[in-house]
Structure 1
Amino acid sequence: MTRTYKISGMTCNNCKASVLSALLAIPNVGDVSINLEKAEATLKLKTPIGVSELQNALPEKYRISEVGVDHNLTSENEINKSQQTELKQLFPLFLIFGYITITAVLLNNNPWNTEAFMLDFMGLFYIVFSFFKLLDLKGFSQSFKMYDPLAKVMPLYRHTYPFIEVALGLAFLFRFQIEKALILTLLILGITTIGVTRVLRKKTKIQCACLGTALKLPMTKATFIENSIMIVMAIVMLLKLYL
């Protein structure tokens, strides 16, 4: 199937080459033809690909949209359909969060231990979320740099981030260097949350990298909430250590 898209931000042949390279790197894109004068790209697709996935693959300065789509004439039915689709896309995130919570509760239910619950929750959170990121390191790196301020300027950081999560997960589960793990949690999730907040305020539609590329999750308030929960837990645990 062939689809044509408008791409804003292309001003020269170097831009054209950059966009061409980025689009050709997407799985299931067979061929790409770019018209610099019309600011259009024609893609031959092996399977349907959403505009958000195409946008995630492009450098930040470019914006892609379907030709012929008037975004100002979205009907109420289309809005409702979009909201339902978003909830459906977020279902895996809610499911995973539920499993992590239930597991942490069961581990500390008899007798109940709030501090141990939070440590186990954070440990399981990091281990499970890092697993999905490690399934496609390259894809995660490309998505992560779209919104994380530090990942944008430090390639090494975005490539090693899943391994940092593994280390933090093991530290919490095995109760090793808890204080340092809590401080690092505040640091990295604080930076990420700043980036997420910027995206949400601009209402930019991009893919969330929290579960890598295996599950196509949109960037929503749910991402902000999950980071906030971890940050609050880290703050509470640090206060307990120091007070």
Structure 2
Amino acid sequence: MTHTYQLTGMTCGGCENKVKSNLLILPDVTAVEVSKDTQSATISMDKHIGLATLQQALGGADSKYQITSDSIVEASTATQSWVETYKPILLIFGYVIAISVITSWQDNTIDFMVFMRIFMAGFFLTFSFFKMLNLKAFAESYAMYDIVAKKFNLWGYIYAFIELGLGLSFALNLSPVIVNWVTLVVMTVSILGVLESVINKKKIQCACLGAVFNLPMSTVTIVEDAIMIAMSAAMLVFM
């Protein structure tokens, strides 16, 4: 995976060489390109490396070199088509929709209440699974744009378990009114940070699938959250 970060403090070629050397020492870093002109660093790594680790390699919090995630992007997506970029999400939605249709098919028609419940269960269980694979990396990525996680670092960790709980609750049809209200509130709060990032055209990584896939934040993320909000609201109305 390759990420481009904002990196301030470089003023000359010597600074560039020093920063590059310090970052290359880190395990799992395979290549580094830095530029004092754009105040950026493009880092290729075998697995996700947190900002705290990168900053420590540059001399810690008091160093003149400060690396931030404001401009993090997945470099490879620039040459990918839309379908290639969002293939993981498209496949997940395809599988979840197929399972939801099969499960909700009754008397030669679809029971839409059952369809929405199974869809929500599949959505939350699948997405929480990918977040759990590297919970720390997800929390760090989520804090880049979520309005709650920015102020409360533990929220990223809590959010992953909320998704897991919601997925299990929808699958078991537990307390549907309470579960749908929680979904409505949580997803509405979540979409606010996504909207702010997309409207301001911030080039950051979407944390919806944790740190496993490097997906750029875009209108796809808005649609994804909006579907959850719409379904939870519809289920509350028709209950």
Please give the TM-score of this superposition, normalised by the length of structure 1: 0.71
The Cα offsets for residues 72-114 of structure 1, whole Å up to 9 and x where unpaired, read as xxxxxxxxx9374443120110110010011001001123311
Q: What is the CA–CA distance in structure 1 between the aligned matches of 2:133 and 2:202, rounded to whole Å?
A: 26
Q: What is the CA–CA distance in structure 2 between the aligned matches of 1:26 and 1:239, rounded to whole Å?
A: 53
Structure 1 residues 46 and 158, CA gap change in structure 2 (3 angstroms): closer
Specify every segment of 5 or more residues in structure 1 that has no aligned partner in the other structure, as ranges: 12-18, 66-80
1:24 deviates by 8.2
Q: What is the CA–CA distance in structure 1 between the aligned matches of 2:5 and 2:205, rounded to whole Å?
A: 19
State the match for 1:75 in structure 2: none
The Cα offsets for residues 183-234 of structure 1, whole Å up to 9 and x where unpaired, read as 1111111111111111111111111111111111111111110111110011
Aligned to 1:211, the other structure's residue is in SS state coil
The alignment yields a C-alpha RMSD, in angstroms, of 3.7
The answer on whether the counterparts of 1:206 and 1:218 sit within 8 Å (CA) in structure 2 is yes
Q: What is the CA–CA distance in structure 1 between the aligned matches of 2:178 and 2:219, rounded to whole Å?
A: 28
1:146 deviates by 0.9
Which of these residues, 213, 216, 223, is aligned with residue 215 of structure 1?
Answer: 213
Map 1:9-24 → 2, pairs under 5 A: 10=9
The answer on whether the counterparts of 2:7 and 2:41 sit within 8 Å (CA) in structure 1 is no
Specify every segment of 5 or more residues in structure 2 that has no aligned partner in the other structure, as ranges: 11-18, 55-66
State the match for 2:117 in structure 1: 119
Q: What is the CA–CA distance in structure 2 between the aligned matches of 1:33 and 1:95, rounded to whole Å?
A: 33
State the match for 1:134 in structure 2: 132
1:44 deviates by 7.7
Aligned to 1:153, the other structure's residue is in SS state coil
The answer on whether the counterparts of 1:86 and 1:218 sit within 8 Å (CA) in structure 2 is no
State the match for 2:100 in structure 1: 104
Letter aligned with residue 117 of structure 1: F
Structure 1 residues 234 and 34, CA gap change in structure 2 (3 angstroms): same
Please give the TM-score of this superposition, normalised by the length of structure 2: 0.73
State the match for 2:84 in structure 1: 88
Q: What is the CA–CA distance in structure 2 between the aligned matches of 1:46 and 1:199, rounded to whole Å?
A: 25
Structure having the larger proportion of residues in helix: 1
Structure 1 residues 24 and 141, CA gap change in structure 2 (3 angstroms): farther
Q: How many pairs align?
A: 207
Structure 1 residues 26 and 59, CA gap change in structure 2 (3 angstroms): farther
State the match for 1:28 in structure 2: 28
1:163 deviates by 1.0
The Cα offsets for residues 116-155 of structure 1, whole Å up to 9 and x where unpaired, read as 1111110111001100010010110111111110111112
Map 1:42-57 → 2, pairs under 5 A: none
Letter aligned with residue 89 of structure 1: T
Q: What is the CA–CA distance in structure 2 between the aligned matches of 1:141 and 1:206, rounded to whole Å?
A: 14
Q: What is the CA–CA distance in structure 1 between the aligned matches of 2:26 and 2:104, rounded to whole Å?
A: 44
